[in-house]
Amino acid sequence: MADTDHAALCVVGAVGALLVLYAKNRERWQTTWIACEGWHRKRSKFSFVRAQNLLLITDFDATLTTGDSEQCHDLCGFSHVMPADFRSKFAPLLDWAANPDIDGVEWWDRAHSLMVQYGVPKRQLIPRLVREGKMTPRPGALELLRRLQELDIPVLIVSAGLSDVIEEWLRQHGALSENVTVCSNRLNYAADMTPKSVSPEPPITSFTKAYAYSSASSFFEQHATRKHLIVLGDSVTDVDASKHVPYEDFLSVGFLNSRLDGILHSQAFDAVVLGDHGSLLPVADLIDEVAPPSSLFRVLSRRSLSIPSANTSPLPSRARTEP
């Protein structure tokens, strides 16, 4: 084969590979999201923000993972590698329809007491629990974390789950980077690899995320000069993690997942992404604006996507109360 033919074949192959990659990327990023009242006004302020002034606070379960993923405590309660007796005691706590204590902090106390009582999960089992569990990254989550790492933007994960599980999930996905701090419930292991207690006390729950500012005080001290916040979460209480944080500008994105009623989400968040597998597109776009990517391919991919217009949602738009 002549050199010119070989070169032409290489070019055709490379273009074909790029097109396949592009198609996959495009499908991955397609999503439907709603701009609530105030989004455009607050979003426009971020046009002047630079990466060195930015902080991102995010929930973990059903935010960085898809809405239909197993959550941290599910891994412990459902896994067949856990003792049967423990699973039978833990099962009522995971029966979300029937559990009378689901709305209370007592749920976390009971769950953690059982884990300590049975000495599970053993530390060496956590990688297997995470590997075998169904904890799927939300479309765009790993790309976003990678981009935040590149830009050295601090990320605080505030979760009512388990630090040990979250850190292992991040590690297995190559996202446990130095810019990420996990503020969640941590199992305190003894030399025999069994948990003897869980900290902090009281636990971090869906209802107490406002304690994040004091629980992660060293994180906020270290990054005190960063005054622009992005907050992500799938529960309306996830925005509480920004309470008490002295910021100048704040933008929040919520994930409705499979919930039918989005009224509370439209009140709590500045934008709402729909569906269990809705992507992190609004956040990725924002980061691209703060720090324009150098990759031509990424720019072309992004421009080709259809960005939904604001306020076309069936959800009512209401301004959130700013502090």
**Minimum CB–partner distance for residue 118 and Mg ion (Å):** 25
Contact 166, 187 (CB under 8 A): no
- 164 or 234: whose CB is closer to Mg ion? 234
Q: Which residues pair with 208 in a beta bridge?
A: none
**Minimum CB–partner distance for residue 103 and Mg ion (Å):** 15
- 49 or 76: whose CB is closer to Mg ion? 76
**Minimum CB–partner distance for residue 34 and Mg ion (Å):** 19
Does residue number 61 form part of the binding site for Mg ion (CB under 5 A)?
yes
Which of 62, 145, 232, 283 is close enough to bind Mg ion by CB under 5 A? 62
Question: Phi, psi (5° rounding) for residue 196?
Answer: -105, -20
Point out which span in 130-138, 231-239, 290-298, 302-310 binds Mg ion (CB under 5 A). Answer: 231-239
**Minimum CB–partner distance for residue 234 and Mg ion (Å):** 4
Which of 59, 143, 168, 240 is close enough to bind Mg ion by CB under 5 A? 59
What is the DSSP pairing of strand 33-35 with strand 54-58? unpaired
What distance in Å separates the CA atoms of residue 267 and residue 272, rounded to the nearest whole number?
10
- 189 or 207: whose CB is closer to Mg ion? 207
Does residue number 167 form part of the binding site for Mg ion (CB under 5 A)?
no
- 167 or 234: whose CB is closer to Mg ion? 234
What distance in Å separates the CA atoms of residue 201 and residue 64, rounded to the nearest whole number?
25
What is the DSSP pairing of strand 195-199 with strand 33-35? unpaired
- 70 or 234: whose CB is closer to Mg ion? 234
Does residue number 234 form part of the binding site for Mg ion (CB under 5 A)?
yes
Q: Which residues pair with 158 in a beta bridge?
A: 183
Does residue number 74 form part of the binding site for Mg ion (CB under 5 A)?
no
Contact 66, 138 (CB under 8 A): yes
Tokens representing 137 are 């990254």
Point out which span in 12-20, 25-33, 229-237, 273-281 binds Mg ion (CB under 5 A). Answer: 229-237
| Exposure string for 4-41, b = 16+ CB within 10 A, e = fewer | eeeeeeeeeeeeeeeeeeeeebeeebebebbbbbbbee
**Minimum CB–partner distance for residue 201 and Mg ion (Å):** 22
> What residues make contact with Mg ion under the rule CB under 5 A?
59, 61-62, 234
